[in-house]
């Protein structure tokens, strides 16, 4: 029996919860403390499903934005790909644009075949409407 | 035994848009199954079977009245309302290898107050509502 419905064991894709610079940085940004340049779009760390198999599972994703500065729109999504280079990524989860602090959980994806070639690597992509903005937050995925 | 011992020093606790890590000193995710009594006549030992599963997040910590990001300002207005998302990570999040739990639930209680001479504590409980998204 899996976890109770609604409780998900998750891995973080992007976690910037205590950084003074917040959700900004260069490609590959992960945990807070980044000193990378402020850019409009960045990609989080690549998460590889540990064991590629034909087992079909359900995928979940969500985010928390904890900073309270309002106004600037942040668009976030989660992509999967067949290789960690993400040459031809597929958008798996797309979140509603967020302009203030809050949390979202995307609609779960049924029957994720972890052995298929395009669902083995996951990453989060964040885009801010202004380069002057920064946020603190966490973006996660989970597979049950 | 493989694995590592985890000392709870840098727990991450998020509820909706709030990071409560700096306000809490105790956080517990409980994942349980109801124990159904299946005992019949003629048996001398109670027989239990697993039933429906439930989960909740219980928090204890210190409150900071008057702050816009205090536990009081978060929980007091939402007691009884559902759809609130929480995250619990038992360690500092240093990469994708870290695991935590995320759930969606109803705020069952928020209880501020304690004994004389103490920093005002609070306890709260978020009970899983059994919906996925």
- Of B104, B74, B77, B109, nearest to B88 (Cα)? B104
The pLDDT score that the predictor gives to residue B122 is: 95
Provide the 3-class DSSP secondary structure of residue A99.
Answer: coil
pTM for the structure as a whole? 0.83
Tokens 């644009």 correspond to what residue?
A: A97
Tokens 């304690």 correspond to what residue?
A: B114
**Mutation test of the interface with chain B: which of A3, A7, A58, choosing the one with the most B Cβ atoms within 10 A?**
A7
How far is it between the farthest Cα atoms of chain A?
Answer: 47
Please report the ipTM that was assigned to this predicted complex.
0.86
Q: Say whether A4 and B54 touch across the interface (CB within 8 A).
A: yes
Task: Please write the tens of the pLDDT for every residue from B27-39.
Answer: 999 999 999 999 9
**Mutation test of the interface with chain A: which of B16, B56, B96, choosing the one with the most A Cβ atoms within 10 A?**
B96
Task: Please write the tens of the pLDDT for every residue from B40-73.
Answer: 999 999 999 999 989 999 999 998 877 777 899 8
Residues of chain A contacting residue B10, judged by C-beta atoms under 8 Å apart: none
Whether the predicted pLDDT of B13 surpasses 50:
yes
Q: Are A36 and B40 in contact (CB under 8 A)?
A: no
Q: Which residues of chain A have pLDDT under 70?
A: 1-3, 14-56, 68-70, 111-119, 131-134
């Amino acid at each position: 029996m899996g976890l109770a419905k609604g409780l998900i064991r998750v891995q973080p894709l992007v976690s910037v919860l205590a950084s003074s610079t917040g959700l900004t940085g260069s490609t590959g940004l992960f945990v807070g403390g980044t000193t990378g340049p402020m850019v409009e779009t960045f990609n989080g760390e690549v998460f590889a499903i540990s064991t590629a198999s034909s087992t079909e599972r359900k995928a979940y994703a969500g985010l928390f934005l904890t900073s309270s500065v309002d106004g600037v729109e942040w668009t976030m999504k989660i992509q999967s790909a067949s290789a960690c280079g993400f040459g031809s990524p597929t958008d798996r989860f797309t979140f509603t644009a967020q302009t203030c602090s809050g949390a979202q959980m995307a609609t779960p994806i049924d029957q994720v075949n972890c052995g298929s070639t395009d669902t083995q690597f996951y990453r989060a992509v964040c885009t801010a409407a202004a380069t002057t903005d920064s946020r603190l937050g966490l973006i996660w995925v989970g597979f049950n | 035994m493989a694995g590592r011992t985890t000392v709870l020093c840098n727990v991450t606790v998020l509820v909706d848009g709030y990071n409560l890590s700096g306000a809490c000193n105790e956080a517990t995710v409980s994942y349980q199954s109801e124990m159904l009594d299946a005992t019949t006549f003629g048996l001398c030992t109670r027989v239990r079977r697993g039933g429906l599963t439930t989960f909740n997040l219980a928090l204890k910590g210190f409150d900071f009245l008057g702050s816009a990001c205090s536990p009081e300002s978060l929980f007091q207005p939402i007691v009884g309302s559902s759809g609130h998302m929480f995250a619990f990570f038992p360690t500092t999040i240093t990469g994708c290898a870290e695991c935590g739990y995320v759930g969606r639930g109803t705020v069952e209680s928020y209880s501020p107050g304690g004994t004389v001479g103490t920093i005002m504590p609070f306890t709260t409980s978020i009970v899983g509502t059994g919906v996925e998204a």
